[in-house]
Every structure is written in C-alpha cells, then in structure tokens.
Amino acid sequence: ALAELEDTEDCDELAEIALEEELQLGAYVEYEVSEQELSFSKTYAIKKLSKALEGEIAALKHRRTSELCRHRTGRAVLNTTVDSDISTLKRFLGWMRDYRDRSDDDGPPPALTIACVIGSPCLGKWCEDYITWLRSREVGWASIANYTNSLYSLLTFVATSDEYELTYESGFTCFDMLANLRRQAHGHAS
C-alpha cells in the first residue's frame, strides 16, 4: 500500500512542497564557515566576470531582493544571502574553469554564466564532482551544505527562464539531485 501511495501524483506534489519549504522557507540551517575554509575558497573563485555573467548577477540580485517578484516563491531575502549565493557561484565557476575533469565531455566546456552552467543538465554530476573535490581538500561538510544550498537557490533562479528545460537523469531532475546532495551534506555536518 505504501508503494502505491508513493506513485500517486498527490504524494509527488506533497514531496515537492515539503522540499520547497525546507530549502526556501527557512527550515534549512545555515552553518558557520571556518576562517581557513573561507580563505581557501578565495583561492579558486573566479575573479574576472564576463559582461553576460555580470548582467545575470544583477538580475539575480534584483529578483531575490525586490519586495515583490512574481517569479519568486516566498519573501525577499537579505543582500547578505544573495551575496553568499554569488560567492558560491564564483567558487563553483572557478572550479569549473580550473579544476573540473573534462575527460568525459562531449564538446567544449560551457560558457561561465549562470544560464550555461547552473542551467545545464549536467549540474547534478558537476555538483557531486565539486563536493568530492572540496572533500579532497578537507573542506567541512557544513561549508559544503551551505554551498549546495546556494547552488539550489541559483537553480531556482535559472529555472524561471523561458530557455530552461527540465531534464531527467535516471529519473531525477537537477533539483532532485541538488536536494539529495544538500541533505547528505547536512546529515554529515550534523
């Protein structure tokens, strides 16, 4: 009977609502990042931003901090929250540019923009590879949980674009995969 319930549309909808509440409406606990991890994170973050990326970051800030926004679930966030997400984005893009293993790529690497990287169907794999890379450098699970939560927030921004196409990998969307990785990091950090 439980297996039948899990297959119903209502159960899927309730799971999506619960996840959205957990990640967007404050059930997620932000962890403190150590000074050592903060210092390390600045060594690989992308520093020179393209005009396209600067424009995307401006749009992200506007959407996340505006008093009202029809493309956002929940209320506006503080500038510090958006700044944290942007810092995570710069770290992730720096890792993409300088450290990501490209041996399995079919073509050239994506442009270092929010739309091309965060909006990619490969985001789940890249995020898992990034976490593995961070752990190999002894970055703590608390920081990784924060970074993964920021990447999820960035994905919600990209998903409101008309160009974004929701894709599946083994039955999981990028949203599912990032939420799974975030929960696992949170579990290790607790």
> What's the CA gap between 164 and 161, in Å, rounded?
5
* Burial 159-169, CB ≥16 within 10 A → b, else e: beeeeeeeeee
Under DSSP, the state recorded for 115 is: I
Three-state DSSP class for 8? Answer: coil
Give the residue among 135, 159, 162, 158 at the shortest CA–CA distance from 147.
135
* Residue 141 to residues 33, 119, 137, 170, Cα–Cα distance (Å): 10, 24, 12, 26
Whether 125 contacts 70, CB under 8 Å: no
Please give the backbone phi and psi of residue 172, each rounded to the nearest 5 degrees, phi first. -115, 140
* Residue 28 to residues 23, 48, 153, 182, Cα–Cα distance (Å): 6, 31, 12, 10
Q: Average pLDDT in the 51-72 region?
A: 95
Q: Average pLDDT in the 76-91 region?
A: 95
Quote the pLDDT of residue 9. 40
Quote the pLDDT of residue 42. 74
Q: Does the pLDDT at position 66 exceed 80?
A: yes
**pLDDT above 70 coverage of the chain, percent:** 79
**pLDDT above 90 coverage of the chain, percent:** 73
Amino acid (1-letter code) at residue 44: Y
Q: Does the pLDDT at position 101 exceed 50?
A: yes
Q: Residues 104-129: pLDDT tens digits?
A: 888 999 999 999 999 999 999 999 99
165 pLDDT band, cuts 50/70/90, is very high
Instruction: Tell me which of 78 and 25 has the higher pLDDT.
Output: 78
Highest mean predicted confidence (pLDDT) among 1-15, 28-42, 74-88? 74-88
Q: Does the pLDDT at position 8 exceed 80?
A: no
Q: Average pLDDT in the 149-156 region?
A: 96
Q: Does the pLDDT at position 154 exceed 60?
A: yes
Three-state DSSP class for 172? Answer: strand
Q: Does the pLDDT at position 92 exceed 60?
A: yes
Whether 90 contacts 45, CB under 8 Å: yes
